[in-house]
């Protein structure tokens, strides 16, 4: 048994009410998304990490950078790492340091 009205006029009334309600919900969603975007725009950007690992397209390590280096990978091609990770990558894993920001010099790891 259906919980909907049996006749067409009441079904049309219910349809109209549902459309109006859905429009109100969508307006509220849009307003909330705009409010959240405005709040996000006011927040200061996150500080750059101290050290970054540049990754290639296959997500394999390429180079160690000082945080905020403009030559490092962007977005998915960069990952924040700790000082210990940077030291291990340069020393043990023999990964290259960026020739521009010279992460190896800042870390005190020079050949």
Residue 66's DSSP bridge partners are: 51
Q: What is the Cα–Cα distance from 17 to 79, expressed in whole angstroms?
A: 50
Query: In the 8-state DSSP scheme, what is residue 63?
Result: E
Kindly report, residue by residue over 78-91, the tens digit of the pLDDT: 999 999 999 999 98
Q: What is the Cα–Cα distance from 76 to 56, expressed in whole angstroms?
A: 9
Kindly report, residue by residue over 43-55, the tens digit of the pLDDT: 998 888 899 999 9
Q: Which of 62, 96, 100, 103 is nearest to 82 (CA)?
A: 103
R_g of the chain, CA atoms, integer Å: 27
pLDDT at 91: 87
| Residues near 32 by beta carbon (within 8 Å), at least 6 away in sequence | none
Segment-wise mean pLDDT, segments of 10 residues, the chain, 111 residues: 89 97 98 96 88 92 91 83 94 90 86 57
pLDDT at 1: 56
pTM above threshold 0.75 = no
């Amino acid at each position: 048994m259906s919980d909907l009205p049996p006749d067409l006029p009441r079904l049309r009334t219910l349809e109209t009410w549902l459309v109006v309600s859905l429009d109100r919900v969508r307006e509220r969603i849009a307003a909330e998304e705009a409010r959240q975007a405005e709040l996000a725009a006011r927040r200061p950007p996150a500080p750059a990490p101290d050290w970054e690992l540049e990754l290639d397209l296959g997500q394999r390590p390429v180079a160690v950078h000082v945080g905020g280096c403009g030559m490092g990978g962007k977005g998915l091609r960069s990952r924040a790492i700790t000082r210990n990770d940077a030291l291990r990558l340069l020393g043990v894993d023999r990964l290259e340091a960026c020739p521009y920001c010279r992460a190896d010099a800042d870390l005190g790891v020079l050949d």
